[in-house]
Amino acid sequence: MASSRIYLDHNATTPARAEVVEAMRPFWSEEFGNPSSAHRLGQNAASALEAARARVATLFGAFRADEVVFTSGGSEANALAIRGTVSLRPSQGRILASPVEHDAAWALLEQLAAEGYQIEYLSVDPFGRVDPVQVRERLNTAALLVVMQANNEVGTLQPIEEIGAIAREFGVPLHVDSVQAAGKAWIQASKWGATTVSISGHKFGATKGIGALWVRTGHKIRPLVPGHHEGGRRSGTQNVAQAVGLGAACELALADLNDHAARLASLRDGFEASIKNIRGGAWVNGHPVFRTANVSHVSFAGVKGESLAIALDMEGIAVSTGSACASGSSKPSRVLAAMGLPLSRQKGAIRFSLGRQTTQEDLDRTEEALLRLVPRLRKAEFP
């Protein structure tokens, strides 16, 4: 095994940036007041919280900081947006969603279906993209439209601005899960026709356990936990240290977003060009143009993705067979199934996700390992 490990599963293993940890430090030990308190410690915390909210609003492309609600992460933000929207529209039980949503949204939609809501799924093309024409044809009378900005498995970016314009024309609320896009692609919540947009901090340099939901001014949501915090939208004493960290991560991400994305895209494209030469076949999944720069999702002919992921791990290379949140499942990906990929390509799929720590040397070592391992595994599994 190589002496140092390579992490090509940055969708799940992105470390908090040093600047973020340093920004949070005082709020664990010195400025530890409750931001709802009237004394000086409380007001210091409140000031820090609101400064962080303004930084997060900038990442969202929002005009108003009070449109930002701090949450425990992307899953809670999605639940607050989706359930919080439809629960105020009991006479309209129809929800229209893309079939490639993250498991956090998918599981909630399945739960709502069990409660009597009518859930309908759009179709996607072989690249995993929703056609806005189809949205227009099926949106009428829906209580909510749910379409993610970037897919967590293949990285495909949806035409959110076009879809949002249609949603606004029909007067239908639109929730956009931007968890996978934050820090890698621009979010334009105020420009889109969306009503809610979610992010999660650990995807772009903040710590795990903090996220945010943007709620357009005038859009009403019912809180999952009622109370007076976060403008009455999410009760509970705010985690000031985590919120400050999220604000710092947002500021850092925006400072070099274009350069960071360009570097990752260059590394990714070179890597994909090299592994396409693997004997027996390797296919890149997802859209060739409209895709986040950090994701390379590849199917290897005649190889089981789980077997290859284990073999790479033994070489000191961490990868994923799909969504990190569902990595324990042996079922073929429903995202790849919705894209219409053959079962053989679904079973042989691996997701490589790059990050700030990824180097050309990391990818060279991974390519060398793949050139050795894929033929060996193919022979073992299909002698």
What amino acid occupies position 306? Answer: E
**Cα distance between residue 349 and residue 343, in whole Å:** 10
Which tokens is 198 given?
């979610």
Which tokens is 318 given?
């961490």
What amino acid occupies position 127? Answer: F
Query: What pLDDT, on a 0 to 100 scale, did the predictor assign at position 278?
Result: 87
Average pLDDT of the segment spanning 305-325: 88
Tens-digit pLDDT profile for residues 122-166: 999 999 999 999 999 999 889 999 999 999 999 999 999 999 999
Instruction: Name the least confident of 55-59, 91-95, 179-183, 341-345.
Output: 91-95
Query: What pLDDT, on a 0 to 100 scale, did the predictor assign at position 150?
Result: 98
**Cα distance between residue 355 and residue 7, in whole Å:** 9
Query: What pLDDT, on a 0 to 100 scale, did the predictor assign at position 331?
Result: 72
CA angle 259, 262, 266 (to 5 degrees): 140
CATH topology of domain 18-255: Aspartate Aminotransferase; domain 2 (3.40.640)
Which tokens is 122 given?
């759009």
**Pairing between strand 68-71 and 349-353?**
unpaired
Residue 98 has φ and ψ, to the nearest 5°, of -75, 155
Query: What pLDDT, on a 0 to 100 scale, did the predictor assign at position 324?
Result: 44
Average pLDDT of the segment spanning 244-254: 98
Which tokens is 99 given?
């079939």
Beta-carbon count within 10 A of 19 CB? 14
SS (H, E, C) 189-226: CCCCCCCEEEEEHHHCCCCCCCEEEEECCCCCCCCCCC
CA angle 295, 299, 300 (to 5 degrees): 130
**Nearest alpha carbon to residue 318 among 244, 369, 268:** 369
The yes-or-no verdict on residue 328 having pLDDT over 80 is: no
**Cα distance between residue 20 and residue 52, in whole Å:** 12
Q: Catalytic site residues?
A: 325
Query: What pLDDT, on a 0 to 100 scale, did the predictor assign at position 276?
Result: 85
* Region at 71 (left for phi over 0; alpha for psi -120 to 50; beta for the rest): beta
CATH topology of domain 6-14+257-381: Aspartate Aminotransferase, domain 1 (3.90.1150)
% of the chain surpassing 70 pLDDT: 95
Average pLDDT of the segment spanning 318-338: 74
**Cα distance between residue 224 and residue 371, in whole Å:** 50
Which tokens is 374 given?
């894929």
> Do 153 and 336 form a contact (C-beta atoms < 8 A)?
yes
Average pLDDT of the segment spanning 324-351: 82
DSSP strand E in the chain: where? Answer: 6-7, 68-71, 94-97, 118-121, 144-146, 174-177, 196-200, 211-215, 282-285, 295-300, 317-318, 349-353
State the pLDDT confidence band at 382, using cuts at 50, 70 and 90: low
Domain boundaries defined on the chain:
6-14+257-381, 18-255
State the pLDDT confidence band at 223, using cuts at 50, 70 and 90: very high
